[in-house]
Amino acid sequence: MSRLLANASSVAMTGARELARLIVPVCCPGCGRDDVRWCDECEAPWWEDPYRSEENAPRLHRLGEVPIAVWSIAELEGSPQLMIEAWKDSQRRDLDSFFKEAMARAAGSVAAEITTAKRIAVIALPARRSSTRRRGVDLPAMLATACAQRWRAAGSDAVAVPALTMRRAESRGLSARERWRGAQQSMRLSRPVDGTRAVVLVDDVMTTGATLAAARDRLEAAGAVVCAGLTLATAPMRGKSPSVGLGWESEADELSDTFDGRGGD
């Protein structure tokens, strides 16, 4: 009798899984493997230590100045790109916790390199309001909160501060020049930032660095000290990195316009 009950239970569970799969298909967003939320191979890059990525962002560079240091976990290509696209554009809300944990690990890994300050303001780059409404969550703000929580757990006085807003249209598909001009014109400071706190900027994806540069400019104009940036992924450069960025409207723009418009800024 017990064996019959066990078999019936197993059949029922199998049927329930099959029905759930029909209603909400489950597959790895990085490779399409069935019946897993994400596979080990596609998860692996998100456990790597972050790397310095500002050299892949020409709009962070100014003549005679050292660009802001930016760390990223992965390059925006292959399975990392597909996972982020599923998270941002395909309603894979089950990936919220995945990327929060990845960002928290990254924040802990590079904490000492980002700043030695004990008082930190973690500021998310603003998401479009329409995107936040559609997703039901502000993704960059979620990542900023994860960073602040990780640094507080390590003993720092870190707070996530929603200090920036941006009135802008969709940036994906725009040239680097258009993205830079739009970011500079649209970035707004929505609340003051405590000048005694070191500022770390956080975003999901960096492409040319235009939005991050605009955020830095707006904050520094208000007296804040921006020390670093942290992103999940950065789009790799196509070809050699330009040696100049901000303030140039000729050769550098022509070079930057060759980069694609994948996600982010």
Query: What is the per-residue pLDDT across 194-225, written as a single tens digit (0 to 9) for each?
Result: 999 999 999 999 998 988 999 999 999 999 99
In percent, the amount of the chain with pLDDT more than 90 equals 60
**pLDDT band of 235, cuts 50, 70, 90:** very high
Q: Provide CB contacts within 8 A for 243, sequence distance 6+.
A: 61
Residue 7: predicted pLDDT: 56
What would the mean pLDDT of 11-17 be, rounded to a whole number? Answer: 50
Residue 59: predicted pLDDT: 84
Give the global pTM. 0.79
What would the mean pLDDT of 165-178 be, rounded to a whole number? Answer: 62
What does the mean pLDDT of the chain come to? 82
Q: Which residues pair with 234 in a beta bridge?
A: 75, 206
For residue 52, pLDDT over 90 is answered with yes
d(CA 168, CA 222): 21
Residue 8: predicted pLDDT: 54
What would the mean pLDDT of 70-95 be, rounded to a whole number? Answer: 96
The predicted-structure confidence for 94-126, as pLDDT tens digits, reads as follows 999 999 999 999 999 999 898 888 999 999 999
- More reliable by pLDDT, 71 or 25: 71
Most confident listed range (97-101, 166-170, 180-184, 239-243): 97-101
What would the mean pLDDT of 5-25 be, rounded to a whole number? Answer: 50
d(CA 26, CA 33): 9
Backbone angles phi, psi at 165, to 5 degrees: -130, 160
Report strand pairing: 69-75 vs 225-234.
parallel
The residue length of the chain stands at: 265
Residue 167: predicted pLDDT: 72
- The structure tokens listed for 234 are 């950065």
d(CA 145, CA 142): 5
Residue 6: predicted pLDDT: 53
